[in-house]
Homo-oligomer: A and B are copies of this chain.
């Protein structure tokens, strides 16, 4: 007996690799089967339709990123008294989980952008897209809370959270599209500057 969960994950991985490399439009059943080194019939055994496969892959990506953030959620806990700049740098590293700074994060971010855009015209993915888009704001809110808890920040969260969320998604988007223009170092520098400035305003 084969491990069904593991097989599905393996297939989803093929989808992610393919989508990140060649774009979502290149993700066909046949291409996925080839990439996963499986037969088309096998792929279809684990996923009833192409749509199921896509949804599963998108779900998996969101969960994967979320899991990383949860793993590191203690980063936002104010252990001890840190200097504001130190706290800002700490949170920069935390939020950098959403930026394409290495192979893994690049794949995840790229695929998410692809899926989000696809969801625009595909009602079957609308809920997942909403989840992801809201997720960034939620995360931003959490980080701002962490700043506020140390008294280093006292701005209006209803403006600052969307602002930080847009900045994050914008950096990710630009770095995904043209890494040689919006480099990883630049992303970090910008994000760090933003968080540091927030600590100076409140």
- The distance in angstroms between the C-alpha atoms of A132 and B43, with both chains bound, is 39
Instruction: Give the Cβ gap from A62 to chain B, nearest Cβ, in Å.
Output: 14
Q: With an 8 A cutoff between CB atoms, is A145 at the interface?
A: no
Interface of A is mostly: helix
Cβ–Cβ contact B201 & A197, under 8 A:
yes
Partner of A177, one of B117, B162, B177, B186: B117
Cβ–Cβ contact B159 & A121, under 8 A:
no
Q: Most chain-B CB neighbours within 10 Å: which of A23, A26, A118, A174? A: A174
Chain B residues within 8 Å of A130, by CB: 178, 181
Chain B residues within 8 Å of A189, by CB: 159, 162
In the complex, which residues 124-156 of chain A have their Cβ closer than 8 Å to any Cβ of chain B?
A: 129-130, 133-134, 136-137
- The distance in angstroms between the C-alpha atoms of A171 and B49, with both chains bound, is 34
Chain B residues within 8 Å of A26, by CB: 121
**Interface 0/1 of A150-186, CB less than 8 Å to B:** 0000000001101101111111011011100110001
Partner of A169, one of B134, B170, B186: B170
